[in-house]
Amino acid sequence: MQKSKDKSHYFGRTIVLTTKHRKAEALALPFKAGLGALLRQEEIDTDKLGTFTGEIERSGTPFETAIKKARLGMKKTGVSLGLANEGSFGPHPLIPFIAVCQELIVLVDDELGIEICESIFTEETNYRHIEARSIDDCKEFLTLSKFPSHGLIVRPNQFQKSSIGRFYRAVTAKSAKEQIYKGLREREDLAAAISCCRELSGDGLARIETDMRAHMNPTRMRVLRRLGIKLSKRLQRKCASCGCPGFGLTGGEGSLLCEECNYPSETPAMEVYSCLKCNHRMLVPRRDGITHIEAMYCQRCNP
């Protein structure tokens, strides 16, 4: 893997970042410091591609959605370089009661005809929710969710179609199905939203959720900064064969064996680094140094 000592391919170039939620605050510096590139934030209603609160379902994969976002900004500005991010949040696939965040970022370069993606999977998130009747029921939740520095969302836990909604100044969104209060950072607004939503709910409860939009979530902004650094470092690496930027990890090959019975696992034994332009590739040992899987993860020893 060759890292060029010359200026990056993107030095002095403008990259358009498509976002509705001020993500340039986290991403501009990594691209300027790492690549010498100028990040131009283009505010476009990316909610039409999906929302965390479910008013609009995301129709594609996170990668596909990020590409669509990037191209919205590119089309609007006429810039050939586009950048976009997509985040996903939920329970850890292996560890009970632990929430995780997966952030994905994509650079679209139409001049080179490549789409370069990097991602981060981390437990660094305040993602959580609770059902409550009043703000007094939420003391521990408010601490864990880092309120008021981090925003909250409130909605009826069970919606009643016949209910008539009341409006407070904290209201930022309303769908045909339910009343949703977003971006809550004031205690009085939170209390008012809970009171309203519990009256609208069939079970008398309001659902309080962490607001995972980037501009409402400093924890997520920190993860995005790390992701921006990761992508900018990859874009500094050039293919040894054709010189295209973005040579990096694209997959794995082989199979790690169980430490007890040598049964093959689904965990790759080698890492694959490749060029997205000419398909030049390298097989290298795993960076984590793992040579076998533990028996507790073996499909034969622990089916």
Give the separation between CA 2 and CA 240, rounded to whole angstroms: 6
* Residue 168 scores a pLDDT above 70: no
Give the separation between CA 148 and CA 190, rounded to whole angstroms: 10
- What pLDDT digit, counting tens, does each position of 117-140 carry? 999 999 999 999 999 999 999 999
Instruction: Say what the alpha-carbon torsion angle 157, 159, 163, 164 is, to the nearest 10 degrees.
Output: 70
Give the separation between CA 229 and CA 235, rounded to whole angstroms: 10
Q: Where are the domains of the chain?
A: 2-125+216-240, 129-211, 247-303
The residue with tokens 């950048």 is 83
- What pLDDT digit, counting tens, does each position of 232-277 carry? 999 999 999 999 999 999 999 999 999 999 999 999 999 999 999 9
Give the separation between CA 269 and CA 292, rounded to whole angstroms: 8
Q: What is the CATH number of domain 129-211?
A: 3.30.1490
**For strand 281-285 and strand 270-274, is the pairing parallel, antiparallel, or unpaired?**
antiparallel
DSSP helix/strand/coil, 50: coil
* Residue 203 scores a pLDDT above 60: yes
pLDDT tier at 195, thresholds 50, 70, 90: very high
**What is residue 178's predicted lDDT score, i.e. its pLDDT?**
57
Backbone angles phi, psi at 248, to 5 degrees: -170, -170
Rounded to a whole number, what is the distance in angstroms from the first to the last CA of the chain? 39
Instruction: Please name the residues in contact with 196: beta carbons below 8 A apart, sequence gap of 6 or more.
Output: 165, 166, 168, 179, 181, 206
**What is residue 58's predicted lDDT score, i.e. its pLDDT?**
79
Greater model confidence, 58 or 208: 208
The residue with tokens 């969302």 is 153
Mean pLDDT of 51-78: 90
**What is residue 279's predicted lDDT score, i.e. its pLDDT?**
83
Instruction: Please name the residues in contact with 132: beta carbons below 8 A apart, sequence gap of 6 or more.
Output: 138, 141, 194, 198, 205, 206, 208
Percent of the chain residues topping a pLDDT of 70: 92
Flag the least confident range among 152-161, 173-182, 238-247.
Answer: 173-182
Long-range contacts of 193-196 (CB under 8 A, 24+ apart): 193/154, 193/168, 194/132, 194/133, 194/134, 194/135, 194/138, 194/154, 195/134, 196/165, 196/166, 196/168
Count of other CB atoms within 10 angstroms of residue 266: 10
Architecture of domain 2-125+216-240: 3-Layer(aba) Sandwich (3.40)
This prediction has a pTM of 0.86
What's the token pair of residue 29?
Answer: 């510096």
Instruction: Please name the residues in contact with 8: beta carbons below 8 A apart, sequence gap of 6 or more.
Output: 34, 35, 36, 37, 235, 236, 245
Count of other CB atoms within 10 angstroms of residue 241: 14
Q: Where are the alpha helices (DSSP H) in the chain?
A: 24-35, 62-77, 139-144, 187-200, 218-236
Give which of 13, 114, 19, 112 is closest to 70, Cα–Cα. 19
